[in-house]
Amino acid sequence: MKREVDLFIFDLDGTLSDSKKDLALAINHTLHTYGFDPMPEEEIASLIGKGISKLLTSFSDGDRESNYKTFRTYLEYLENHLLDSTTPFPGVTETLARITKKKAVVTNKLLNQAEKVLTGLGLTPFIDLVVGSDVTARIKPDPAPVLYALERFGVDPSRVVMVGDTPDDILAAVHANVIPCGVTYGFGSREDLLDAGAQILIERFPEIQNYFQ
């Protein structure tokens, strides 16, 4: 039996957009800048599943200034390569077009970068709100950006589903008391999603309509 919801909240990278190659190139560029050897794309993808911020700070000197420089290098490169290889995952465009309820994107990408990606992929017409990492004081796995979306739409958390590919997405959903739904085709592993509290796992994006309406 499908659950009736009033709002769908989606992560961006690894959920709506297949951005693995572009993110890997941005991270390897950052590694090279600071004298580290590049990493294989698949290894980077597995680490991204545990959080890009954790990955980037792991090879900085650990102090605040060093972390800032590392992030700046990464973001400046990514700004010019957001859509080199990134595409929507199969079925994303068609499924978003079929969902008639309100839809938001909550991402740890900067707002302007997220909006550029959504526009470049032709997904902007289907999204009612974008919450980037610079919109709220804290980012996923903190529930702050999810709670921000709930407040904007004035919806009951029990009638909201958060769809994401990493434990950070699921934890943010759990702490915001919305329905946590994981996708298995992104950066996070099935085991990590379940450990974080995912109630539903889907293998392909269009399957979301099998569970929610």
**Dist. CA 191–CA 194, nearest whole Å:** 5
Residue at token pair 């600071």? 34
Farthest CA pair distance, the chain: 54
CA distances from 44 to 38, 79, 96, 123 (A): 10, 19, 28, 26
Helix axes 20-33, 41-48, angle to 10 degrees: 100
CB 161 within 8 A of CB 9: yes
Which residues are registered as beta bridge partners of 7?
102, 160
Query: What 3 state SS string does 12-24 have?
Result: CECCCEECHHHHH
Please report the DSSP string for 158-175 in residue order: GGEEEEESSHHHHHHHHH
**Dist. CA 104–CA 185, nearest whole Å:** 20
Q: Which of 6, 11, 168, 169 is catalytic?
A: 11
CB 69 within 8 A of CB 61: no
| 192 catalytically annotated | no
Q: Which residues are catalytic?
A: 11
